[in-house]
Structure 1
Amino acid sequence: MSLGHALRRIAEEYPEARLDPPAGHPLAAVIRRGAPDELRAALAGIDGPLLVKGSPGRGTRWAAVPWLATFDPAVTTSATRGYYLVYLFPAHTPAVHLSLAQGTVAALREHGPRAGAHLRASGDRLRARLADFADRLPNRGIALGTAGALPEGYEAAHILGLTYALDQLGDERRLRTDLAVAVDAYRALKARGGLDLGTG
């Protein structure tokens, strides 16, 4: 397998996989283990400690939007808080988003029904802080095609990134180059004050 093959498999197979229970499902194993292993391999040439996790959901429920994330442990080790890099798989179209994103659950807990507006406003200011990455990570917004606090929060939490159609996932060199750029943006955000909008 390769990173592109793993991403394509999730994007293609997830809608049908959700019709079956996740326990013991082969695609759940790809999201939890196979895809993270491929992402770790793609990150192997990049200096610094980076954690990788994938989630198809919890317990007996599939996630509305599965994810495959990279965390700088000095920033966060969880998709709930801080900021991190994540591959997200929209429900309404076979594609993959690579997103530099803010933690959604912490914002929901802190801001309640105003969390989306808070995350979008924060994202606008963080994009300005990362203006030198705008050409290489041009997506200012993402659509996940499903309702709910978490998917809508993921959309609002997006800072910048890229979207791949399925036929673009065969270019492993491009995926790794884009990933390296995204890690550079992640580290630049950390160096420029992170989510602290009072600095930088």
Structure 2
Amino acid sequence: MSLGYALRRIVEEYPLARTDPPAGHPLAHVIRKGAPDELRRALAPLGGPFVVKGSPGRGSHWAAVPWLALFDPAVTTSATRGYYLVYVFPAHREAVHLSLAQGTVAAIREYGPRSGDHLRESGARLRERLADFAADLPVTAITLGSAGELPEGYEAAHILGLTYDLAALADERRLHADLAIGLAAYRALKARGGLDLPTQR
């Protein structure tokens, strides 16, 4: 397997996989184990340490939006809070987004119905903090094709990144180069103050 092959399997197989229970499903195993292993291999030359996790959902339910993420443990080890680099898979098209993202659940808990607005406003200000990455990570908004608090939260939480169609996932060299750029942006955000933003007057 390779990173691109693992991502492509998730993109192509997830819609049909969701018609079966996730327990023991081969694709759930790819998301939890195979794809994270490939991402760890891709990260090995880039330093660390990182926590890598993939989520096809919880218990007996597939996620509306599966994800494969890397976390700097000095920032967070969970997609619920902080900020992290993640591959997210939209439900409505054959593609995958590489997203530098803010933790969604923590924002929902703190801001309730205003969480989407808060995340979008924060994301806009964080993009200013990372303006030197705008050319390499030009995607400033993502759509995931699923209604619901979490998918819509993931959309709002996106800061910057890239989108790949299926053909682009065949270019392993590009995937590794883009991962290095995404990681550089992640590290730059950490060095520049993370999610702590000056109070606007």
Alignment of 1:111-126 (within 5 A): 111-126=111-126
**Map of 1:57 onto structure 2:** 57
**Map of 2:193 onto structure 1:** 193
Distance 1:165 1:30 in 2: 19
Distance 2:198 2:65 in 1: 32
Deviation, structure 1 residue 198: 1.8
Distance 2:146 2:57 in 1: 15
Distance 1:179 1:48 in 2: 13
What whole-Å deviation, never above 9, does each CA across 1:48-105 have from its counterpart, x for those lacking one?
A: 2111000000000000000000000000000000000000000000100000000000
RMSD over equivalenced CA pairs, Å: 0.7
Deviation, structure 1 residue 189: 0.2
SS of alignment partner, residue 169 of structure 1:
helix
Structure 1 residue runs of 5 or longer lacking an equivalent are: none
Deviation, structure 1 residue 47: 1.3
Structure 1 segments of 4 or more deviating over 6 A? Answer: none
**Map of 2:151 onto structure 1:** 151
Distance 1:5 1:104 in 2: 28
2:171 is aligned with 1:171: yes
Instruction: Give the residue type in structure 1 aligned to 2:165.
Output: A
Structure 2 residue runs of 5 or longer lacking an equivalent are: none
Distance 1:37 1:105 in 2: 26
What whole-Å deviation, never above 9, does each CA across 1:127-175 have from its counterpart, x for those lacking one?
A: 0000000000000000000100000000000000000000100000000
When normalised by structure 2's length, the TM-score is: 0.98
